[in-house]
Amino acid sequence: MQRRRPSRTLLRVFSAFGLAFALVLTALATWSVVDERQGSEAVAEVLDVEQRGARTYLTVQFITNQGEMCESLMRVTVDANRAVSTGDRIRVRLAKSDPCLRVRESDDQSGWLIILVAAALLVTFAIVAYVAWRRPRTPLPLRYAGMP
């Protein structure tokens, strides 16, 4: 049984779209982490604690540096905040561009995970693109065909 190899054109199109996707994903992930690092921290009051299976969600209320009162739902990722209850206060990190919607715990480092995934995809698709777009090697002359 002979396996059919995918065409070079299909591999080239796939690698080009994959490489473009990985570049955009890396750029957006980097922008998101930088935007959060340039943001500020605030003290938020826990209004509601919701358990959804193994995940815990908090509804928090806080005031931004601009004096705007915000209420946001956020997922708990830091173990110390899993035991909070209604009325407790926790520290949150607000993004610079959209402080009311992009709220995380101050000790949350999960934003770096998407950059690692994006970088891995970028390297993978760069290798696939190199293999798909490189010129094929010229075959050896027939006089060398049987040599190791």
Domain chopping of the chain, boundaries: 9-133
* CA pair distance 91, 42, nearest whole angstrom: 6
Assign 3-class secondary structure to the chain.
CCCCCCCHHHHHHHHHHHHHHHHHHHHHHHHHHHHHHHCEEEEEEEEEEEEECCEEEEEEEEECCCCCEEEEEEECCCHHHCCCCCCCEEEEEECCCCCCCCEEECCCCCHHHHHHHHHHHHHHHHHHHHHHHCCCCCCCCHHHCCCC
Please tell me the distance from the alpha carbon of residue 58 to that of residue 49, in angstroms, as a whole number.
Answer: 5
Whole-structure pTM value? 0.72
pLDDT tens for the 148 residues of the chain, in order: 677 777 888 989 999 999 999 999 999 999 988 998 888 899 999 999 988 888 889 999 999 888 889 999 998 888 777 788 888 999 999 989 888 888 888 888 877 888 999 999 999 999 999 988 888 777 777 776 677 6
